[in-house]
Amino acid sequence: MSSWTVTRLGDAAHVVHGWPFKSESFATEGEHLPVVVAIGNFNYSGGFRFQDSTVKRYTGDFPAEYILNPNDLLLVMTCQTEGGEILGVPARVPNDGRVYLHNQRIGRLIVDRPDVLNSDFMFQLARSADFNRQLFVTASGSKILHTSPTRIEATTVMLPPLREQEAIAEVLGALDDKIAANTKLAATSAALATAIFTEAVRTSSSEFVLSDITTLLSRGITPKYSEEEDTMMVLNQKCVRGQRVDLDPARRTLLSKVREDKLLQPNDVLVNSTGQGTLGRVARWTNSNQATVDSHITIVRFNASRANPVTAGIGLLGLQDTIVEMGEGSTGQTELSRVELGKLRLKLPALEVQSVLGQRFSSMSEMERVLFEENITLAATRDTLLPQLMSGKLRVKDAETELAKVGV
């Protein structure tokens, strides 16, 4: 620790603002169009989640200096909650062939002294609670908090020697890489399931009205939240992430008695039914834990005598864009009614074919579940090691022992 130095961040790096891209030039389609990075694209534990968020593309003109480079380090500069939890959350621009644009309210951190500050170490440091706290206490605003390049540059950071910075970044980065690899493998499996289903439908299928092949098509409950141990898990909108259910944002409810049919069963499908940007997201429930959902989510339970629940669930996942278009209401509060969702038309192969596919999809889903559960363990390990490494309380060699325990 004696070789660690307290440094003003601005003495080693500087931060630049993004550009106010015009909302009327945004588009949600067009693979050839550049992507405007938005705060909603950030994973709030660090990194991006483009696969689980709305991707905004741009059709208008813009200054060339706001084209981002692969691996640029970006920081969130605005938070819409009073606690400022996401101020300073970092992400790196992907190197995936797409063009990304530097939006307002997002800072780009440029290291001026690579002999003093390692950029990969800075990414990990920006995840720390201490960095977030410094930005929170200096932020402007009340309900919506804002930081700025000068406030970010005014933070103080503890920096070990450069070689140790690189080693710390490598340890934490190994966990990030394993999480990313698991996520990619699970996404590949899900895409393969969709392709198999699509080919089966193309070969031979019949069209059904959703309400005719379900035993339950109902919104969830209106919960009263509690942290008491004897209460029940209630999933909210944030839990429905693309094709999977994320338990991290789940809450618990005081309501001890929930209508039995609204207790989730394996292979139920959950559909986000309210909200801008989240409406229409579909996920399958593959967990055996007792849980239900709140009133922003619709439970879809297939009638096994008419549709294989696993195969039909895969089919419903492929209709997310159609489900989004069924929403009604203003831009700020779009709703999807149970009645309208029930009118959705779904093509399915013959029941015997569905059964065979269902067995294959179940195996694939089990692999995806194992991968995501492993990611929970990996993320917990990373989040435990991060503050200890950043404070110098844990040395890299000891952290490497912890990595070995989780197979990294």
What percentage of the chain reaches a pLDDT higher than 70?
A: 96
Would you identify the CATH topology of the domain 162-202+350-408? Helix Hairpins (1.10.287)
**Average pLDDT, integer, range 219-237:** 79
Structure-token pair, residue 2: 């004696």
pLDDT in the model for residue 202: 93
Residue 283 has phi, psi (to 5 degrees) of -145, 150
Which CATH number applies to 206-348? 3.90.220.20
CA nearest to 7, candidates 162, 144, 139: 162
pLDDT in the model for residue 328: 81
Q: Calculate Rg over the CA atoms of the chain.
A: 23
CA pair distance 236, 272, nearest whole angstrom: 9
pTM: 0.85
pLDDT, the chain, mean: 91
From-to residues of CATH 3.90.220.20 in the chain: 5-159, 206-348
Give the number of other CB atoms < 10 A from CB of residue 155: 21
Least confident window among 131-135, 227-231, 233-237, 326-330:
227-231
Contacts of residue 184, Cβ cutoff 8 Å, sequence gap at least 6: none
From-to residues of CATH 1.10.287 in the chain: 162-202+350-408
Give residue 330's pLDDT band: very low, low, confident or very high (50, 70, 90).
low
**pLDDT tens column, 243-259:** 778 877 777 777 667 88
Query: Which position has the token pair 């094709």?
Result: 243
Contact present, 244 and 272 (Cβ < 8 Å): no
Burial readout 194-225 (b: 16 or more C-beta within 10 A, e: otherwise): bebbeebbeeebeebebeebbeebbbbbebee
Instruction: Indicate whether 275 pLDDT > 80.
Output: no
**pLDDT tens column, 141-195:** 888 999 999 999 999 999 999 999 999 999 999 999 999 999 899 989 999 999 9
**Average pLDDT, integer, range 46-53:** 87
pLDDT in the model for residue 320: 87
Query: Which position has the token pair 């968020």?
Result: 53
Please state the CATH superfamily assignment of the domain spanning residues 5-159 in this structure. Answer: DNA methylase specificity domains (3.90.220.20)
pLDDT in the model for residue 226: 67
pLDDT in the model for residue 39: 94
The most confident of the ranges 64-68, 235-239, 338-342 is 64-68
